[in-house]
């Protein structure tokens, strides 16, 4: 079986759904942000603040290269910006089946309100919706281009999203 990679905007549920999916498929689960934090012994925010976004993006590429090299089969919860680099999209495609979890800006805003762990959304809460919409606009087509499968998550529980992915993957492999 191929690896399964969950991509999507911050707050789209990649980590929560990824854990459930990995359990269901009896595969190991890796969250890219958590893996980078473990390797660097720093939070993502600290990496952004101390080394800058470009350095963080290099770390994402290095992680993907390693996974492809080691031919690991797993569920990977990608960071929201991981597919933005063309090189990363190529690596994601080599790694396995890419599933894009979509959510509209209102859903994302609700899920991301009060969160301080995402440096790209840091700042005033009044600006949150605008930041989400702007970043979404610049990324939506990229996510769609990278995806083998698109799953809409608005109004769905993590369990239901997980079931929808399993069903769609089974159909895809028929
Ligand atoms: C980012 C998303 C974050 C994390 C970093 C940058 C992005 O991951 O990688 O804050 O550029 O969208 P999540 O999508 O898991 O929050």
pLDDT digits (tens, 9 = 90+) for 121-144: 998 889 999 999 999 999 999 999
Which residues are CB-neighbours of 14 under 8 A, at least 6 positions away?
A: 6, 7, 8, 31, 77, 78, 80, 101
Q: Nearest residue CA, atom 11 of ligand 1?
A: 81
Model-level pTM greater than 0.75?
Answer: yes
Place of tokens 């610049």: 138
Mutate to test the pocket of ligand 1, among 18, 53, 80, 132 (most ligand atoms within 8 A of CB): 80
List residues near ligand 1 (CB under 6 A).
Answer: 10, 14, 33, 44, 79-81, 118-120
> Whose structure tokens read 């720093």?
42
State how far the Cα of 115 lies from the Cα of 99, in Å rounded to an integer: 24
138 contacts 87 by C-beta, under 8 angstroms: no
Closest C-alpha residue for ligand 1 atom 9: 79
Q: Which two tokens stand for residue 166?
A: 């399993």
**Atom nearest to 118 CA in ligand 1:** 10
Please tell me the distance between residue 80's alpha carbon and the centre of ligand 1 in angstroms: 4
Q: Are 3 and 95 in contact (CB under 8 A)?
A: yes
pLDDT band (50, 70, 90) for residue 72? confident
Q: Give the confidence band of 1 by pLDDT, cuts at 50, 70, 90.
A: low
- The alpha carbon of 45 and the centre of ligand 1 are apart by a number of angstroms equal to 10
Nearest to 20 by CA among 167, 163, 135: 163
CA angle, 136 as apex, 131 and 141 as ends, to 5°?
160
Give me 126's structure tokens. 């009044």
Q: Report, as an integer, the average pLDDT of 42-61.
A: 98
- What is the rounded average pLDDT of the residues 139-166? 97
Q: What is the structure's pLDDT at 173? A: 65
**pLDDT at position 170:** 86
Q: Which atom of ligand 1 is nearest to the CA of 36?
A: 9
């Amino acid at each position: 079986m191929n690896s399964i990679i969950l991509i999507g905007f911050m707050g789209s549920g990649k980590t929560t759904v990824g854990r459930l999916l990995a359990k269901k498929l009896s595969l190991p689960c890796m969250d890219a942000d958590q893996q980078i934090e473990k390797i660097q012994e720093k939070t993502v925010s600290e990496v952004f603040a101390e080394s800058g976004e470009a350095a963080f993006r290099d770390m994402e590429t290095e992680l993907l290269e390693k996974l492809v090299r080691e031919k690991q089969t797993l569920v990977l919860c990608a960071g929201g910006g991981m597919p933005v680099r063309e090189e990363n999209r190529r690596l994601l495609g080599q790694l396995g089946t890419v599933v894009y979890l979509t959510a509209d800006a209102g859903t994302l805003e609700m899920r991301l309100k009060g969160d301080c762990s995402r440096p790209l959304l840091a700042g005033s809460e009044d600006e949150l919706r605008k930041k989400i919409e702007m970043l979404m606009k610049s990324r939506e087509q990229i996510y769609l281009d990278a995806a083998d499968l698109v799953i809409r998550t608005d109004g769905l529980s993590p369990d239901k999203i997980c079931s929808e992915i399993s069903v769609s993957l089974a159909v895809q492999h028929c």
